[in-house]
Amino acid sequence: MHMADALISPTVGGTMWAVSGGLIAFCARKVQQSLRENLTPMMGVLGAFVFAAQMINFSIPGTGSSGHLGGGLLLAILLGPHAAFLVIASVLTVQALFFADGGLLALGCNIFNLGFYPTFIAYPLVYRRIVGNRYTGTRALVAALTAALIALELGAFSVVVQTRMSGISDLPFSTFIILMLPVHAAIGVVEGLATAAVIAFVARMRPDALMTARECPSALRSVLVAFVIAALVTGGIASWFASAYPDGLEWSLAKATGKEELALPDSAVHRLLAKLQEKVAFFPDYEFKRAAEKKPADETATESAPQWPAVSVGTTVSGIVGGLITLAVAALIGIVLKAWSTKCTKTL
């Protein structure tokens, strides 16, 4: 559901940048006020895991499309909504800047669509209410499925609304929404199942972790080692097995317009941000830059006979490097907030 800049006008993009920036500041303040022991490494490691998990697109049977995990709900369950929002914002920023995954102008939209709904709507209003104060596998499964489905549908609806409000594409609103909602409902089901599976793993490995994660993050120390290994294996190797089908948004665009990608509008803002992203992204499309630049020439051959698994050193390096960058960014946020909290305490 990573929106490209071709869908977003500068006005809508700038507005959503402001909205997401305000949410980041709010969450930073909340985390700073209640920063607990070991939250910083948790943010970093889980951020790396979500980055790696998002590299794996899974096919949606009968559609010719694919989807990937958002990770916002999982992060909210393990970190709480405020820290989770900061981590998902870090993941999406790293993806846009260094991997050209999602536009820079659309970054505010992507952070809001993939971060706000799972952390501030689906988690507190759905997941927590269903699970209650006592974790059970059945409750967690029902809660994760319901919460993920609601979060994905709200995010998909927002994509359509933001595109419509931008008014720079000729996408028919009714057709676009009819395509977007069902395919993202299917993605939401898979996300719910995956989230429930990860939470069940954490519960089996450390039964006390889910009950004490926010009160005593040290309970998750042994689990974090598993997440580090999972992030390296997922980003470095499992990413070879990602579906070659277009994701839900690209598939919806293709069905509505006949093109998976729309042409970039000829505006100064779009041109400037496109050039900036081209210069900064050293692994565009999760490949070495030279390999990514050669893709258009081989596009016909790739479409007629897609290689699967797509064994690629570039993809492996991208997964590992991206995970490490995300870990560093998310951990740095925690370090800065901890230093800020300590300074404020000494001042008082």
Render pLDDT for 185-200 as a digit per residue (tens, 0 to 9).
999 999 999 999 999 9
Q: Where are the alpha helices (DSSP H) in the chain?
A: 10-33, 39-54, 72-79, 81-99, 107-111, 128-131, 137-166, 173-205, 209-212, 221-236, 248-257, 268-280, 289-294, 299-304, 313-347
What pLDDT is attached to residue 4? 94
Tokens representing 89 are: 């914002």
Q: Are 330 and 86 spatial neighbours (Cβ–Cβ below 8 Å)?
A: yes
What angle separates helix 10-33 from helix 268-280, to the nearest 10 degrees?
Answer: 50
Instruction: Write the pLDDT tens digit of every residue in 165-188.
Output: 999 888 889 999 999 999 999 999
- 161, pLDDT greater than 60: yes
Band of pLDDT at residue 212, cut at 50, 70 and 90: very low
Is the pLDDT confidence value at 300 over 70?
no
Q: What is the mean pLDDT of residues 21-27?
A: 96
Helix (H, G, I), strand (E, B) or coil at 65: strand
Lowest-pLDDT range, 27-36, 219-228, 311-320? 219-228
pTM of the model: 0.91
What domains can be seen in the chain, in order of their start residue?
Answer: 5-290+319-347 (1.10.1760.20)
Least-confidence region, from 7-16, 109-118, 135-144, 218-227: 218-227
Residue predicted with more confidence, 300 or 344 = 344
pLDDT above 90 coverage of the chain, percent:
63
